[in-house]
Every structure is written in C-alpha cells, then in structure tokens.
Structure 1
Amino acid sequence: MRFDLTDLRLFVHVHAAGTITGGAAASHMTLASASERIRAMEDSLGAPLLTRLPRGVQPTPAGRSLLQHARAVLQQIERLQAELADYGAGLQGQVRLLCNTSALAEHLPPVLSGFLAAHAGLSVDLEERPSEQIADALRADLCDLGIASDAADLAGLQTHALWPDPLVLVVPRGHAWAGRAAIGLDEVAGAALVGLAEPSAFQAHLAQQARRLGRQLAYRARLRSFESVCRLVGQGIGVAIVPLAVARRCARTAGVQRVALAEPWAARRLVLCLRDARALAPAAQRFVQHLLGSGTTMPACRPNTSPS
C-alpha cells in the first residue's frame, strides 16, 4: 500500500468538497486524474474508500480512518516546513506548546518572555486548547509539550505539577450567594452568567461539565478577558466562574466576592504534560528546564497511568 502526499491531499479535499469533482478542483487536477488516483488508492488498499452517492461521495469506514491519518500527516508536513523555514531565518529550534486558557491568561506570559529573552535562537508555537484536547494532541504526537488541568484524562503521559488553579464562582458584593461556603454547578447553571468570548478553551470546558449534568449554561455577556468578566459581575450583570488567581486579583478593583465550587473538577492544578522526556528535542528540553527552574538537567516527570 503506497499513498503519496498528493493522494492524501486529494482525499482530504474530496471529503471537504463532498464530491470528487470538487476535490479535484481544490487539488488543481483534472477530474479524470483525481478519479484515477482514488481508484488506485482503493486498489492498493483492497477496499473501497468512498461510497458513491447520487449527489456526491461519503467516506467508508476505511475512508474515515484514512482521512484521520491523512490530516495528521499533512499537519506534520506543514509544521516541518514551518520549522525548517525558521532554521533558514536563523532560528535554532521551535517548541510546539499547547495550553489551556487559565495557563495562558495567568501564568505563561512571564515564563514565555523570560525563556525567549534567554534563548534568542528559539521560538515557541503556542496555541490555546481545552485540557482534554491537549492530552489527545500529545498522544497523537501533534505537539511537544502541554500545560493542562490535572482534572483531564492524562493517562499515558508524563506530568509535573506546576501551579494550583482551582475554579471559583465570583458574584457581586452583597449577592445572595456571597455568604455561601460552596455551591454546585447545577445551581449555578440556573443563573445568568458572564463568560469569555468564543472560541475559548475555558468556556468549552465549563460547557462540557454542564452537559454531564444535563444542563446548558446561559450567558448574558461574553467578553475577551477575565478582568472584564469580573468587572461586569461587580456591576450586577451576572455571576461567573473564573480561576481563583483571577478572583483574588480582581476582588477589590471589580467589586466581586468569591464562592467555592463544590465540584471535584474545580479543585484542580495545572501540570506540564509530555509523552517522553528523553525523546524531546533540545529546544523543548530547554523550555522544560526554564519552566521548572531545574538548571541544566532534565527534570524527572511523573508517569500518569490512570485518568485524573
């Protein structure tokens, strides 16, 4: 079975277009050439990849498997080209880092600035994702490192504790819930909420937790930063779920009070996640050393063998 990159790109384009004609056009080839390539791929595999319908095509189970791997391979090729281009521009390596919203907003800016200032030849490709997606991307070898909540399923990854990051509810001063010791998400879901604008990995995480309770969160307003969220809460517009560090920092200036969330997933911490510390490229090893303040040696990481 031999599929080249042109085959993989064509198959992805066919799926996106829903027709071989549309896939051929997106791949800049004739319909006859595209059809011949698809047939050759199916002959090589010994199974159909597409189901031909009156108004297009759909992938078979084998086609869906090929589609998943084709996307991963093409994404890796794009990263390879980008990283080699960086070397040509004088850089000596790149760190592919995924992190959740809380890490990006509260903890990473000083870490990144210090690392980049100390390593002029290195770059960091940073992307915000929900913690569960970060773990999946690491297992699929789509990034070097991840910073995620330990409430996510990190099975099979090595982890190292970074920062406590519990989630709390913030309410206006004098709110009926302000004196509560703790409150559950099921009760919070019935209130008017203020949250971050989409797309937000943080909001996606909260929505997932609400769905597990059979609830849907209703937002009166969505803003671009935790600080703006807290200011609006302080003005009586609604309540919000934010990291404890945000609630503490904004308590006086925004006029909010915090209430503990009585949910196991809210009592979380941020952890560094990776597949295998020994297999990291030098640039990623240097970032880990900087992040953990471990000097010149690679820190020992704890294997995570069960879901958190």
Structure 2
Amino acid sequence: MRLDLADCRLFLCIVDAGSITQGAQRANLTLASASERLRSIEDAVGVKLLERRPRGVVTTEAGDALVHHARLMLQQQALLKDELEAFVSGRRGTLRLHANTAALTEFLPEKLAPWLARNPRVNVELRERTSADIVKAVEAGLAEAGLISDAVETRALQVRPVEPHPLVLIIPAGHALASAASLALSDVQGEPFVGLAPDSALQEHLNGHARRAGFELSYRVRMKDFRGLCELVSHGVGLGIVPERVVWRHHREGTYRRVPLSDAWAQRRLCVCFQDWERLSAPVRDLLEHLLAV
C-alpha cells in the first residue's frame, strides 16, 4: 500500500466537504484529477473507502480508519514543520559560544539570563578558552563566535567591542606596593601570588605574559574562582590579578588596594569575534546582537 501525504490531504478534503467535486476544489484539483487520485487510493489500499450517494459521499468503516490516521499524519507533519522552522529561525537548538575567563565569569552570567528567558527552547554550551585559542577556533570554523580580549591578534576575523575589561593588580592594604599609582607585571616578579586554577584560561594567559617577560609567577595557592582569590588577597596571602569588574564586585573596604597594570596587554576590551556576520546562524546572531546592545 502506497499512500503519501498528498493523498491523505485530498481524501480529507473530500470527506470534510462531503463531495468529490467540492473536495477537489478545496484541494485545488480538477474533478477529473481528484476522481482519478481517489480511485488510485482505493486501489492501493484494496478496499472501498467511500460510498457514492446522490447527494455526495460518506465514508465506509475502512474510510473512517483512514480519516483518523490521515489527520494524525498531517498533524505530525505540521508539528515537524514548526519544529524544524524553529531551528532555522533560531527559536530552538543548541548554540556553542567560546569565551575567555573574564567573559565567562563576570560578563556573561547576567547578560545571558534575560536572553535565555526570552528563548526558552534554546540551549547555550559555553566553553572556556584563552582569547588566542578562541581566535584559532573561530578561524578554523570550530566555533561560530567567541568572546575575547582585543589584546590578541584577530587576523581576518571581524571584531566588535562589548565593553572595557582591563586587568588590574589587587594588593593587600598593608603591602609596600599598595600605594603605587600603577605597576607593570615585571615590577612584581618574585612577589607571592594568589592565582586561579591551572585550567583557567585567564591564568594561562597571565603565565604566558610572565614567561615572555623572563620570569615565572610564584603562587602560594590557587583558587577556583575570583571570589576566593579576592578573599585570600584581603587576608594578605599574596597579590592577585583580576579583571577590574571583579574588584567592584568582590571588594572588601580597606582590605586590599586596586593598582592598574601599565602593560599594554592589560588595557583590554572585551569583544565578540566571528568570521562573517551574514553567515552566522540565526540564534548566534541574535545572541550577539543582545550582547552588543547592553
């Protein structure tokens, strides 16, 4: 038995109209074409589906069964169409966004919340990477877009700034360097530090700059998040390097001082990067428009 959705739709048009002539009109077919299709449907199933009467047609028992299943099939087709269109339009699916540590911990949480609330059928998979690694991933097509520092070379990628995101030193209030107007990373070599975990993209970034300056940062302890890092600095355990936004979020009055880093790489902005705006998928483009608007 071969029945396609067009056959089901025509049969329902005839049944609902109670007439082959009117059913053909509803299906935008000629009477001859509709009659031929109907004969083919009945030949395919091997049983009479309609009884022809002077004032129209009525379904047989087999026809009632076909009506029931045809409606279900067309309803499922409509649901499938709506679901697939939701993926195309960006109202459903999973998007992947690469972000550096500062963006992931300090920028995205409060910015993502209203967007996700407006898009309840969209999931976001966040991946923490260094800005340099994000650029490589986007260039290679492994990610559509990423949130990076503009201190890295982005080559052919398109970049749009989101907000200033400089890195600063936080120094215990009683430390000899706490009153400095600004310091370079090389000015604090040999000082004990409170760092982030080794798998932190920001920590890897800082370690790389220290090595290029000819030394290694010395860590007394590493914490999983900025809150813990700031807490230990406030108790005099060591110095820390954090995004400036973190200072205002976790600052405890009188316990540590914020000192700007004078290195050019620390004077950074948070940016989104991508290959081509027009080639972004609908959900990614919508999310980036939201991030750029706030």
In the superposition, the TM-score normalised over structure 1's length comes to 0.64
Partner of residue 292, structure 1: 292
Rounded to whole Å, the distance in 2 between the matches of 1:96 and 1:144 is 8
Distance 1:269 1:253 in 2: 26
Task: Give SS of 2:241's match.
Answer: strand
* 1:49 corresponding residue in structure 2: none
The answer for the alignment partner of 2:100 in structure 1 is 100
Gaps of 5+ in 2: 1-83
The 4+ residue runs of structure 1 with deviation greater than 2 A are 91-94, 248-254
1:96-148 Cα deviation digits (max 9, x unpaired)? 10000001111100121111110122111110000000000000000111000
Equivalent AA in structure 1 for residue 289 of structure 2:
Q
Aligned equivalent of 2:47: none
CA contact (8 A) 2:234 2:252 kept: no
Alpha-carbon separation, structure 2, partners of 1:248 and 1:126: 25
CA RMSD of aligned residues (A): 2.0
Question: 1:193 maps to what in 2?
Answer: 193
- Tell me by how many angstroms 1:247 deviates: 1.6
* Equivalences, count: 208
Question: 1:94 and 1:273 mapped to 2: Cα distance?
Answer: 19
Q: Kindly tell me: are residues 254 and 245 of structure 1, through their superposed partners in 2, closer, same or farther at Cα, counting changes over 3 Å?
A: farther
- Deviation of residue 249 (structure 1)? 2.6
Q: Residue in 2 aligned with 1:149?
A: 149
Partner of 2:18: none
Give the equivalent residue in structure 2 for 1:62.
Answer: none
Matched, 1:275 2:282: no
Write the letter of the residue equivalent to 1:94. T
Contact 1:178 1:257 in 2 (8 A): yes
Answer yes or no: is the 8 Å Cα contact 1:159–1:271 preserved in 2: yes
Q: Could you give the per-residue CA deviations for residues 199-230 of structure 1, whole angstroms, max 9, x where no partner exists?
A: 10000000110111121111001011111111
Output the CA distance in 1 between the equivalents of 2:210 and 2:124.
33
Aligned-residue offset at 1:190: 1.2
Query: After superposition, what is the alpha-carbon deviation per residue over 1:35-73, rounded to whole angstroms, capped at 9, x for unaligned?
Result: xxxxxxxxxxxxxxxxxxxxxxxxxxxxxxxxxxxxxxx
2:151 counterpart letter in structure 1: A
Distance, in Å, in 2 between the alignment partners of 1:147 and 1:203 is 17
8 A contact 1:94–1:284 mirrored in 2: no
The match for 1:202 is 202
Change (3 A) 1:254 1:141: farther
Q: Percent identity?
A: 42
Worse-superposed segment, 170-179 or 248-257:
248-257
3-state SS, counterpart of residue 183 of structure 1: coil
For structure 1, which segment, 284-293 or 256-265, has the greater mean C-alpha deviation from structure 2 after superposition? 284-293
The one-letter amino acid of 1:153's match is E
Please state how far the C-alpha of 1:253 moved relative to its aligned partner: 5.2
* Aligned residue type for 1:144: E
Letter in 1 for 2:283: A
Residue 293 of structure 1 and its aligned partner are, at CA, apart by 2.6
Q: Report the secondary structure of 1:176's partner residue.
A: coil
Q: Distance in 2 between matches of 1:120 and 1:249?
A: 29
Distance 1:269 1:289 in 2: 17
TM-superposed deviation, 1:259: 0.9
What amino acid maps onto 1:225 in structure 2?
D
- Cα drift, residue 174 of structure 1: 2.2
Hey, what does 2:257 align to over in structure 1? 257
CA distance in 2, matches of 1:211, 1:171: 21
Deviations 1:163-222 (A, max 9, x none): 111111101112101111111111222100001112100000001101111211110010
CA pair 111-248 structure 1, distance change in 2 beyond 3 A: closer
Structure 1 unaligned segments of length 5 or more: list them.
1-83, 295-308
Tell me the residue number matched to 2:130. Answer: 130
Structure 1 equivalent of residue 120 of structure 2: 120
Give the secondary structure class of the aligned counterpart of 1:161: strand
Would you say 1:214 and 2:214 are equivalent positions? yes
Q: For the residues of structure 2 that align with 1:182 and 1:270, how far apart are their CA atoms?
A: 21
Taking the aligned partners of 2:291 and 2:94, their CA distance within structure 1 comes to: 15
Partner of 2:257: helix, strand, or coil?
Answer: strand
Give me the whole-angstrom Cα distance separating, in 2, the residues matched to 1:124 and 1:275.
20
Match of 1:17 in 2: none
Which letter maps to 2:220? R
